[in-house]
Amino acid sequence: MVSDKQPLRAGGRGGGDVRLDPLTPRSHRTPAQVLDQRMPCSSCGSKSHKLDRCIRAPFGSIRGCPLCEQITHPMEMCPTFSTIRPEIIVDVLVWKRGNMPPWTTRVPWFEYLSDWTRSEQFRQSDRSTIMATPLPWSQDFTRQMAQSPGIADVQQAATRYDTSALPSDASTRNIEVAFKKYSIPCNYLWSNHPEESESPQATADAQTGPTPPDVANGRIN
């Protein structure tokens, strides 16, 4: 048996010996060595994060499939798509993309969300929780963020799943505002709470429009 302290040798065509360093067990490698062996993000090429955590999307959305994380096809073309329940699709495209770029899909995320809001599961959901949950950025905001000087810091926050540090898009800050932006009727949303069919926030937005992004509040203008 060759000692791990001895260099390994292999005969070469030129008659000389080739010195090979002993292999280092994965458990003994430094974090940097392990990181270098990760598959790079198929969108931006970085090894610091996977495709589902990528923030930089100069075209307005992240191209690829959120189900298998392959960049070769959109979600609807994935072999597993037909087996995924609607609420899981909404979770993948909407709730897990809060304050992040949307995925590139054949059907926009807000249409999947609109369909889901007509389900019994939505009617049984807690309204305050849904209203407090951020939605994906709009494509315009995503393109602006891709050119922002602070995009590296935003990427770090997304990589470590620190959603509270991600900038908010005023036009998609909650479901009511987003539905107004995308011209989706929302008067039925809280029909199981007739006395709250139109929230004060929605009324204010209808009168004054959404609050513009503000750099001081972690947003861009």
Q: Computed from CA positions of residues 129, 123, 170, 210, in that sequence, does the dihedral angle turn out positive or negative? A: negative
Give the amino acid at 163: T
Distance of CA 160 to the CA centre of its chain: 12
What would you report as the CA-atom Rg of the chain, rounded to the nearest whole angstrom?
24
Helices 139-146/151-159 angle, 10° precision: 110
pLDDT for 100-134, tens place per residue? 999 999 999 999 999 999 998 998 889 899 999 99
Average pLDDT over the chain reads: 79
Model pTM score: 0.69
Exposed/middle/buried for 61, CB within 10 Å: 0-12, 13-18, 19+? buried
The domain ranges of the chain are: 44-217
Q: Residues 150-164: pLDDT tens digits? A: 999 999 999 999 988
